[in-house]
Amino acid sequence: MVHPSNVKAPIPPAPVVHIIEDDASLRLAIDSLLRSVGLNTRCHDSVQSFLDDKPLDTAGCLVLDVRLPGISGLDFQATLAQRGIHLPVVMMTGYGDIPMTVQAMKAGAVDFLTKPFRDQDMLDAVSTAVAKDRQRRKDLQETEALRNRYASLSPREQQVMALVTAGKMNKQVAAELNLSEITVKIHRGAAMRKMQARSLAALVKMAESLPQATH
């Protein structure tokens, strides 16, 4: 039998950078650059090619040219959320101007690189974008775990948690729910234990992360 302490956590797959660039030579150059630092890549000559490709559920980002055949990079960027794509974007163009840059950055681009760009600028932008996506995924996992813990509470424990984290004292909670104070304390303790909250302050913070469920 393998002792739990000897079980290693699975190593997450290397991030994947999706390069969408219609200039074959530049696409290959970016691909080679990113692979040289250990990143996985997927190359596409158009937005449609990217959309037709089977997406990988792993951290990464998009390196997206502004001017592309068919759907432009800027237009595609504006529809990412609607398409259920949450990868951070590094925009690039050979015809960059201030309005384009402002539009791309306002739409959430991590960086906007004007061709020709330095290799290090691309590496820095991709590194920032991948780190952002990793953090987003971590936050989603933590929120899901929090929701699962909240779902494990009984209806009464959820009621008590909502009132306690709204600032009500045990006596007030007892009066509102027509319970004894000792019963409120029991439900409150059970809620904190199931939510893995070490303090009331921690429980309040958790409740704020679940506004729809607790209010």
Question: CATH 3.40.50.2300 occupies which residues in the chain?
Answer: 16-134
Entry pTM: 0.73
Query: How does strand 16-20 pair with strand 40-44?
Result: parallel
Report the pLDDT averaged over residues 16-35: 95
For the segment 49-80, what is each residue's pLDDT rounded down to a tens digit? Answer: 999 887 677 889 999 998 888 888 888 988 88
> Which residues make beta-bridge pairs with 89?
62
Q: What is the CATH number of domain 149-214?
A: 1.10.10.10
Question: CATH 1.10.10.10 occupies which residues in the chain?
Answer: 149-214
Q: Which CATH class is domain 16-134?
A: alpha beta
For the segment 38-55, what is each residue's pLDDT rounded down to a tens digit? Answer: 999 999 999 999 998 876
**What is the reported pLDDT for 55?**
66
